[in-house]
Amino acid sequence: MATGVPRKRQSTNTSRLAREANLFASTSKLEYSGKKSEAEVLITPPAHIAALWVGPGGDEKNRLYFGDNQRVLACLLNDVSVRSKVRLVYIDPPFATLTTFHSRKLQHAYEDTLSGAEFIESLRRRLILLRELLANDGSIYLHLDEKMVFHAKVIMDEVFGPGNYRNCITRKKCNPKNYTRKKYGNVSDYILFYTKSENYVWNRPVEPWTESRAKEYQYIEPETGRRYMKVPLHAPGVRHGDTGKPWRGMLPPPGKHWQFPPSKLDQFDAAGEIFWSSNGNPRRKVYLDESDGVGVQDIWTEFRDAHNQNICITGYPTEKNPDLLKRIVEASSNPGDLVLDCYSGSGTTLAVADRLSRRWIGIDNSPEAIRTTLQRFAVGTQPMGDFVTMRQNGLQTKNERHDDRQPTLFGACEEKPESSSLDATHTPVLDFALMGETHLTHLVADSVAAWQEQSTTELGSPSKVASP
């Protein structure tokens, strides 16, 4: 990877993000053999698509594609209803494990055979196409483990721009491990969150207030009894507009500016929302009852893999927790928005998006993934794993016998997770079209036939099947 020499410090009037973008614009690229130019990627030959099944609505607002996702994404670039219309992308690609994965029923699911530069280039080409499909106010979440996330961060900076990086979320994926190897236990993976621009859909996720979370609101207003906290009225950075001017005869501290113009500060003071210390230092009162909750941070301990929790699953390998997707979909899209997952696997993203009234597009090249997704759409998920077998046999697990709590990332304890809130009830998913690359449709013929039978008998709904 190329290295660079930091540029000279720019004027303090330049924003931090602009400085970072200028600093890294010419240095944040991985160079490797086989790397195509963006122009070459954008002329990827599109897939030839055949409709395999169309739901009772007869439209294609929701779509499940069977085929190579790069060619299908290239096909979607020619679709005016999709290009620049996708509000949210979540992808959970293979992790470069060089492993063959099977379902719990030992059906071949997929092969994770790419590694190194080959893996990165494969991912990069798809990210370029996804960028073109994203709306200007759209977001993308890339889920990886520690093996490739650092390489992927550089690629994401290259494709989306370092100024559009938002978070690297750490997710606790499993319970603590009793390693005998000479290393720390690996219980986390990572989600890179980027947006296409600085203006993006954001529904701030919050956790409800508890007494411990609200401990910073330690003051009570005598007149009203309302709890509040004191926060500074200034922020880092020099400004030469109204927020850099004196207020009540005071300038902001050196190197800082007022968070609000003096006129707004006067309004706060008139409303009794400024606390004046004994030495005349003003602070703003922030009231507990004006907040819906505490903002979610970038370490998520509550969304362990479905296989590691007492929730229903499909049995597909690397299946993700539906409540993890619920948080992401709700935060970065609104009802009616289009959500896309081009490594859709067992269909978790699609099922969650459908439940939350979003439109969706899923793509996968595994016949087992398509079969699993159609089965999920028809009958939902089901309990699987050792805990199910033991309970059916009247036995208890060690945790159930001794403690109903489980350690968190920080060593404290948390309550054993309940069933997913999204799997409490199941409504069959019918309003979608199943599409496939024409030369591959024979690989899912049995799954399509089974789905047709389910949709016309058990689900009691008419369907249309197109012969390729």
CB of 28 closer than 8 Å to CB of 154? yes
Domain assignment present for 276: yes
Domain assignment present for 23: no
Domain assignment present for 327: yes
Report how far apart, in Å, the C-alpha atoms of 335 and of each of 203, 296, 355 are: 12, 21, 10
Domain assignment present for 22: no
Please tell me the predicted confidence (pLDDT) of residue 23. 52
Domain assignment present for 452: yes
DSSP type of residue 296: P
- Supply the Cα-derived Rg of the chain in whole angstroms: 26
DSSP type of residue 197: S
Helix (H, G, I), strand (E, B) or coil at 115: coil
Nearest by Cα to 468 from 181, 49, 119 = 49
Rounded Cα gap, residues 151 and 120, in angstroms: 7
User: Strands, E, within 120-224: which ranges?
Assistant: 134-144, 165-172, 188-195, 206-207, 219-220
CB of 285 closer than 8 Å to CB of 275? yes
Residue where a domain terminates, one of 294, 312, 329? 294
Q: Are residues 192 and 330 in the same domain?
A: yes
Q: Are residues 152 and 222 in the same domain?
A: no
User: Strands, E, within 370-432: which ranges?
Assistant: 382-383, 405-407, 413-415
Rounded Cα gap, residues 34 and 67, in angstroms: 23
Q: At what angle do helices 445-456 and 367-379 cross, to 10 degrees?
A: 10
Rounded Cα gap, residues 248 and 237, in angstroms: 20
Domain assignment present for 25: no
Tally of domains in the chain:
2
Q: At what angle do helices 149-160 and 116-133 cross, to 10 degrees?
A: 40
Q: Are residues 179 and 115 in the same domain?
A: yes
Please tell me the predicted confidence (pLDDT) of residue 95. 45
Rounded Cα gap, residues 299 and 396, in angstroms: 31
Q: Are residues 407 and 273 in the same domain?
A: no
Please tell me the predicted confidence (pLDDT) of residue 60. 77
CB of 434 closer than 8 Å to CB of 16? no
Relative to beta strand 282-287, strand 227-232 is antiparallel
Full residue range of the structural domain in which residue 272 is found: 213-294
* Residue with token string 């024979």: 442
Residues whose CB is less than 8 angstroms from the CB of residue 14 and which lie 6 or more positions away in sequence, other chains included? none
Rounded Cα gap, residues 392 and 387, in angstroms: 8
Please tell me the predicted confidence (pLDDT) of residue 28. 62
| Distance spanning both ends of the chain, measured CA to CA | 46
b/e map 27-38, b = 16+ CB within 10 Å: ebebeeeeeeee
The total number of residues shown for the chain amounts to: 468
Phi, psi (deg, nearest 5) at residue 444: -120, 15
Relative to beta strand 359-364, strand 63-66 is parallel
Residue 450 CB burial class (10 angstroms; 0-12, 13-18, ≥19): middle
Please tell me the predicted confidence (pLDDT) of residue 427. 84
Rounded Cα gap, residues 204 and 294, in angstroms: 10
Sequence letter at residue 204: R
Q: Are residues 269 and 184 in the same domain?
A: no
Report how far apart, in Å, the C-alpha atoms of 200 and of each of 135, 136, 168 are: 9, 7, 17
Domain assignment present for 464: no
Helix (H, G, I), strand (E, B) or coil at 142: strand
Q: What is the pLDDT along the chain (468 residues), one digit of tens a residue?
A: 343 434 444 444 445 555 555 555 545 688 888 899 999 999 999 999 999 989 887 777 899 999 999 999 999 999 999 999 999 999 999 744 445 544 455 564 545 455 578 889 999 999 999 999 999 999 999 999 888 899 999 999 999 999 999 999 999 988 887 777 788 888 999 999 999 999 999 999 998 888 887 888 999 999 899 999 999 998 999 998 999 999 999 999 999 999 999 999 999 999 999 999 988 899 999 999 888 888 999 999 988 886 555 467 666 767 888 999 999 999 999 999 999 999 998 899 999 999 999 999 999 998 988 998 998 888 887 766 544 444 444 544 444 444 444 444 434 444 444 445 555 577 888 899 999 999 999 999 998 888 888 777 655 655 555 544
Q: Are residues 284 and 368 in the same domain?
A: no
Q: Are residues 183 and 82 in the same domain?
A: yes
CA atoms within 13 A on the CB side of 248: 15
Domain assignment present for 268: yes
Q: Are residues 387 and 249 in the same domain?
A: no
Residue where a domain terminates, one of 276, 294, 312? 294
Please tell me the predicted confidence (pLDDT) of residue 112. 47
Nearest by Cα to 196 from 149, 237, 156, 244 = 156
b/e map 423-436, b = 16+ CB within 10 Å: beebebbbbbbbbb
Q: Are residues 189 and 222 in the same domain?
A: no
Residue where a domain terminates, one of 237, 264, 294? 294
Q: Are residues 268 and 372 in the same domain?
A: no
CB of 173 closer than 8 Å to CB of 144? no
Q: Are residues 250 and 180 in the same domain?
A: no
The CATH number of whichever domain residue 117 belongs to comes to 3.40.50.150
Q: Are residues 304 and 174 in the same domain?
A: yes
